[in-house]
Structure 1
Amino acid sequence: MDGMRLDGRTAVVTGAAGAIGAAIAADLAALGAKVVVADVDLPGAAKVAATLPDAEALPVDLASPVVVAEFAGAVGRADILVHNAGVSIVQPFVESDPAGWDLMWQVNLRGPMLLTKLLLPGMLERGWGRLVFISSDGARAGSGGEGAYAATKAGLFGLAKTLAREAARAHVTANVVCPGPTDTPMLRRVSEAEPGLVDKIARGIPLRRLGAPADVAGLVAYLCTERAAYITGQTLSVSGGVTMH
């Protein structure tokens, strides 16, 4: 199919040692991109990179502006930037610790802003680029226990829409993908404390199943191709119908 290959493109995926990030990295690599597998967990990133045909693992701590700058310098050229990394602390808002807010703000919003600011100029100069921000349906529709998390992830909506307007003439698109309930090791760990939680969540989804990392990765990969060149400034949910807009 014309316009679906990414040969010659370099893609950076943050949080790529995790389930969704690894799936995104794999799909981009399958389309021909060279993938920079970025994560604060370097051994985990290296394991993912080792499974891909043309990839390298690099460490990045999005909470540190100095490290973000060093990472951007090590990457050099990036045609595709997928902001997948995130930190979530689940607790009722009135019980939450502002120190936790700071960490989520640094990783979920400030980090993507800083990294984009460093890598976007190259895309603008070359006249092509793809920015994809992984947010959350919790940010789009609200989610109990995720007030501060949702606030930081919601900030990506405004950032992406602004970048979509500012970068359009250089053929750089910016979009947001919002996963809904997704079957990841993190969800499974949470469910250990509440037996039956996964089944309960699945029953509330119109498609009657949790999402898989591949469900999210498929949409992200498409948005990075030439076939999606006319899609920008959009927020798209991958939620099995939980949220409909």
Structure 2
Amino acid sequence: MDGLRLDGRAAVVTGGAGAIGTAIAADLAALGARVTVADVDLPNARRTAAALPGARALPVDLASPASVEAFCAEAGPVDVLVHNAGVSVVGPFTASDPADWDLMWQVNLRGPMLMTKLLLPGMTARGWGRLVFVSSDGARAGSGGEGAYAATKAALFGLAKTLAREAAKGGVTSNVVCPGPTDTPMLRRVSEAEPGLVDKIARGIPLRRLGTPADVAGLIAYLCTDRAAYITGQTLSVSGGVTMQ
């Protein structure tokens, strides 16, 4: 089908060394994009990039404005920007440490804001661009033990919608994707401390299984193509039916 290729487009995926980030990078590369795998974990970012045609890895620490600025200067013109990176510190909100709040807002919100501020003008000047913010179903519906994380990820909704309005005349779309329960190494590590947790979660999902990184990546890749050129300002869940609107 026409409009489902990204040949000649330059794409950045933050958190590209993680499970979901690797799947996003792979799908964008398969559609023809030149992918930059951006991550604070440079060795694993390089491994991800090495498996993809024409891809490269660059380091970025979203908690550091200087690192974000250096990354943007080295990345060059960017057409597709997928803000996938995130950090969560789990625990009851009343027992949480404000120092952890600072880390989460720096990585989950301030970093994406700054990177977008630096790269968006080039997109609008060229008349084409795609912004995709990866949030969480926990930010839409709440999630026990993730108060500060949910707050920082929920802030992406307002940012993405504002950018959808401001950048529309420049041919740039801006959307949010919210993964639900997804089978990642992080979830598996958490489940080691609570046997049966994964099965319990899966039973509560209408489709009766956890999501996969590929489930999330497929929607993101579509939103980055010309076929999705009339979709902007939207928040979409990939949750097997846990969240319905």
Q: TM-score range by the shorter chain?
A: over 0.9
1:113-192 aligned within 5 A:
113-192=113-192
SS, match of residue 208 in structure 1: coil
Q: State the shift of 1:30 in Å.
A: 0.1
Give the residue type in structure 1 aligned to 2:106.
Answer: Q
Secondary structure of residue in 1 paired with 2:38:
strand
Cα deviation for residue 113 of structure 1 reads 0.0
AA aligned to 1:120 is: L
- Partner-residue secondary structure (3-state), 1:36: strand
Q: What secondary structure is seen at the aligned counterpart in 2 of 1:161?
A: helix
5 Å-filtered alignment, 1:27-38, equals: 27-38=27-38
Verify: 1:47 aligned to 2:44, yes or no.
no
| Identity over aligned pairs, percent | 83
1:122 aligned partner, one-letter code: G
Give the superposition deviation at 1:68.
0.2
CA-to-partner distance for each residue in 1:93-133, whole Å, 9 max, x for gaps?
Answer: 00000000000000000000000000000001000000000
Letter in 1 for 2:38: A
* 1:10 partnered with 2:13: no
SS at match of 1:173: strand
Residue 24 of structure 1 corresponds to 24
Q: CA offset at residue 181 of structure 1?
A: 0.1
Runs of 4+ in 1 over 2 A off after TM superposition: none
Amino acid at match of 1:15: G
The 2-side partners of 1:108 and 1:37 are apart by: 17
Aligned residue identity for 2:107 = V
Equivalence for 2:68:
68
Partner of 1:242: 242
Instruction: Give deviations 1:41-77, integer Å, cap 9, x for gaps.
Output: 0000000000001100000000000000000000011
* RMSD value, Cα: 0.3
Distance, in Å, in 1 between the alignment partners of 2:89 and 2:201 is 19
1:59 corresponding residue in structure 2: 59
Q: CA deviation at 1:186?
A: 0.2
The CA deviation string for residues 7-47 of structure 1, in whole angstroms up to 9 with x for no partner, is 00000000000000000000000000000000000000000
- Matches of 2:169 and 2:116 in 1, distance apart? 17
Structure 2: tracts of 5 or more residues without a match: none
Please name the residue that 1:213 is paired with.
213
Report the count of equivalent residues: 245
Residue 180 of structure 1 and its aligned partner are, at CA, apart by 0.1
TM-score (norm 2): 1.00
How many Å apart are 1:199 and its aligned residue?
Answer: 0.3
TM-score, normalised relative to structure 1? 1.00
* SS of residue in 2 equivalent to 1:35: strand
> What SS does structure 1 have at the residue aligned with 2:163?
helix
- Partner Cα separation in structure 2 for residue 171 and residue 230 of structure 1: 10
SS of structure 2 residue aligned to 1:133: strand
CA distance in 2 between counterparts of 1:2 and 1:129 reads 18
Distance 2:160 2:206 in 1: 28
User: Aligned AA for 1:112?
Assistant: P
**Structure 2 partner of 1:229:** 229
Give the deviation of 1:85 after TM superposition.
Answer: 0.2
Q: Which residue of 1 aligns with 2:85?
A: 85
Query: Which AA in structure 2 matches 1:237?
Result: S
Paired residue secondary structure (1:86): coil
Segments of 5+ residues of structure 1 without an aligned counterpart are: none
